[in-house]
Structure 1
């Protein structure tokens, strides 16, 4: 229990560090954020409007006061208000974030369901036809950029076969089947980009574990091949797979912009692009901070899974 509490405490500390870095990055970069926000087509903004915006954003106060105020608002769940329509930013994030998380979870499940069985079978049949073909396909999957993969999937399934719409979004409670249909292609695009990484790590991990002494001992004792594979090989090979999947999914939190754009999926990444385009400084900061906190939280989940899969980790 103390190990788990320690990991949670370190994650909370890391969230504070990340939030501080975001604050410092915004406030100590060259230039006045208020002037940048109001500048259009190279013309200098009205000084009165600049001062009013600085007052509205709290930029006229000392940096330490701004820091304390920002953290007080953050702890109370207040992420500020949008400059576009003065609406609470947390409402926009709460509306968009579940869509991005749903996309990432679906893509992660696809990548795992494809990569882990394929990597395990390729390791068992090392050097065989399946191993060679799967390794070649994984190299191809890693070489093709995700937006190219998405475009090809649209051309195949939406334009040629006409099985699914080319893009868009329908709420699940409004039409569950249509929602899943529109989710399938963007999730498949990301999943096919994740699967080669999972395949390679799984294959290497299974090959490494099968050469260990405890596996040979289990076989010498007459333990059946299925039991050896499930209880001795796959379970111990999952450690590096969990690490890679966690890191990849964390990267996808900030890397789904192109996929959401190709498939017109209204997620958090699309909101970030809109905020940058409209120079909505408070909204950009809130979204970046949200993605950073989610990444830290995902790493905490990976650490806790480590402790659950391997008790030796908890004793370190």
Structure 2
């Protein structure tokens, strides 16, 4: 793509925004890259003189391509081996500074968004995260504005019932990760077990490639036993603090090779969600920082 091409310059100006929209809709960086490529191919065929709002036009193309891809992914995920988790992104510090953006791409919120229908997810993301007006969203999802308002209301209620109970605290997350790291280094799990919520859920995503728990493990006792079994092996590797999807997380490496990304959901000081991504096909975006924008 030549930098002197006007269409290219416009696309590159908005690329990080478009990536963020598509990723929030798909939960997959690899599929997001494909959507952006499809968006680019359509964009270069547009007569720019006929486009009044280039940003809105690009958002519309991206949203439609992401919706098409999301419906395909839904069928693909039905046959996915084990639990499915979003593809983790190594994010830059400025993502964490934008609290609303960080919240919207957190592993916990991305899992909540997975429970929406494709259209609900698109409308929720465009309205609640990117603050687009209803007319603009209607163009993007091919609905009338009145229908979009109803979809937005339904999606907000759905998300509100499932999102973290309080404001997500990076400090609480760091404290919980510290307890996890100390348990791995010392073998003393008690401090970690003390902050497991009674209804804590552990999800492991190996994608059928790496060993992982085949289904969610629920409850402090069961999760505690699982952690006790796995902590010895974890202690043989190296744990490093990283920023994943806007929040502190841990990267587990063996012989300098990334093995697992561990993210947490912490509600009111207690760990309510453990997310361990082991599928190597989902770890490629941990090699470099991903720029996200609103």
TM-score interval, normalised by the smaller of the two chains? under 0.3
Task: Tell me the TM-score normalized by structure 2.
Answer: 0.26
Higher share of residues assigned helix: 1
Task: Tell me the TM-score normalized by structure 1.
Answer: 0.24
